[in-house]
Amino acid sequence: MTVQAPSRPASRMQQTVANRPSRGLMGWVRRGGLSTLVFFLPLLLSFGLFSWWPILRSLPLSMQQTNFLTADWVGLDNFTRVLADPLLLTAALNTLWFALLALVIGFPVPVILAVFIAELRRTRGLASALVYVPVIFPPVVAVLLWKAFFDPSPTGVLNTILGWVGLGPLSWLNDGDLAMPSIVLQATWASFGTATIIYLATLMGVQTELYDAAETDGASAFRRFWHVTLPQMRGVLLVMMLLQLIGTFQVFTEPYIMTNGGPENRTVTILMLIYRYAFVSGDYGRATALSLLLAIALSGLSWIYLWATKRWSTS
């Protein structure tokens, strides 16, 4: 009778080698890398074609005097002419003023609404749907609707409402001091629904035990909001604020349709100036140069913002 020797257990090194994922191209394929690439490739191609290629194409275009039929190389002349334009400072200050007003008026509104809706029980779904209704309107339709509301005559919609409490009538879009706040009011109405839904989804993820503990300790509604709600929403608030800043620096539709930059260039923005360079003056090189300057400024602003808020967002 033949006696088989007992099999020796594999050494630790052999087990480690057996469990170690295979490297190289074949190992990458076995781990599902090829299927991942197949699904990712259409997104990568479309993003590269419609996002990165125009950015790369704009670099030589900003150094040309062109109407897309003929092109002359002018170097940095376009940047020099953009920076020498006296309207650039006006447009930059108007854009900053719009961004500041949108931050003060438009940023707290969705946060407050989300907190209010989160406290509802039976009508939360209905309230969420009503809040999102303004987003459904096409942007141009919403702007034209509010432009009618801002009718400066005493029979205008908003002036009629003000007349009920003994105020007005106001000139609204015809008044240089009221034109930009009026545009911010419309932009806030048109966009707060999306932010409210995002904040509401964040609030639904907050642990109810934290609120119960705060109530047990006798915390008021404001203290619960300040010490429980805001810290839980911190990361989302920072991202949304950055997106709003980037969006407000690219405002175009509202001032273009409502005032066309008036009165007296009080609502001309940087994107409107780019539009005038390209489609009014036909100076596509200068328009591209200003677009690149705006992109650089927004990139710098985003980096500073992320650097300044990094510690607060992770503490």
- Give me the chain's average pLDDT, please: 85
Convert the pLDDT of each residue in 249-278 to its tens digit: 999 999 999 999 989 999 999 999 999 999
Distance CA 62, CA 64 (A): 6
Convert the pLDDT of each residue in 28-82 to its tens digit: 777 777 788 788 888 888 888 888 888 888 889 899 888 777 888 988 999 999 9
Percentage of the chain beyond pLDDT 70 is 90
Convert the pLDDT of each residue in 192-227 to its tens digit: 999 999 999 888 877 777 777 777 777 777 777 777
Residues in contact with 120: Cβ distance below 8 Å, sequence separation at least 6, in sequence order:
127
- Tell which residue, 157, 153, 183, has the closest CA to residue 171: 153
Residues in contact with 23: Cβ distance below 8 Å, sequence separation at least 6, in sequence order:
none
The region of weakest confidence among 176-190, 201-215, 250-264, 287-301 is 201-215
pLDDT band at 23 (very low <50, low <70, confident <90, very high): low
Q: What 3-state class would DSSP assign to 70?
A: coil
